[in-house]
Amino acid sequence: MRTFIYKVVFIFFISFFAFHFIGLGKVNKVDREEVFALLHTTRNIQEEFTNKYYTYEQLYNKLSPFVTDSFFQAFTDTHITQTSKGYIALGTDVNGLYIPKFSYSNGTKISYDEQNDLIYIYEKMPNINDASNHPSHYEYVVISKEDNKLKVSGILQSKELLTEVKQINN
């Protein structure tokens, strides 16, 4: 019986350290659900901007709790148009700085860069309809901490896995 208990404790001990130090150890400081909730909320707010006119202050008040100021400025410069009725986004056909439509499954990866305190959420997107203008690629959201709160700070795309993410995962 004592041997059995030692084996169970040993297996538990080895499993704990393997789980902590192999792959998942680099992500253990990130709450996957919290990150996904931030992305969903931000995308929903971005899409709301296509349905209604807003003042610039309203745009800022809705989106700024979830994105950095520099990202907010880039997003509004890229996607928001001023009209006589107010500010509005003219659609989401060009994704640019919209939160990508991740699958939020095992294909959606998270890497935590402890040195720079950045979180990379990414997924390899498939080739769309075999069209040469939409080959398979990676889409990324970069999240940083601002006043101890997670905020979207960037959107990236690349054909290959980013060097930064490769270094984190090694």
d(CA 18, CA 15): 5
- Closest to 121 measured CA to CA, from 148, 150, 95, 96: 150
Residue 33, pLDDT score: 94
Rounded to 5 degrees, φ, ψ at 47 are -70, -30
Domain 31-169 is in which class?
alpha beta
Contact at 8 Å (CB) between 126 and 136?
A: yes
d(CA 26, CA 151): 19
Q: pLDDT digits over 35-67, tens only?
A: 999 999 999 999 999 989 999 999 999 999 999
Could you tell me the pTM of the whole model?
A: 0.78
Q: pLDDT digits over 91-121, tens only?
A: 766 778 999 999 999 999 999 999 999 999 9
CA–chain centroid gap for 164, Å, is 15
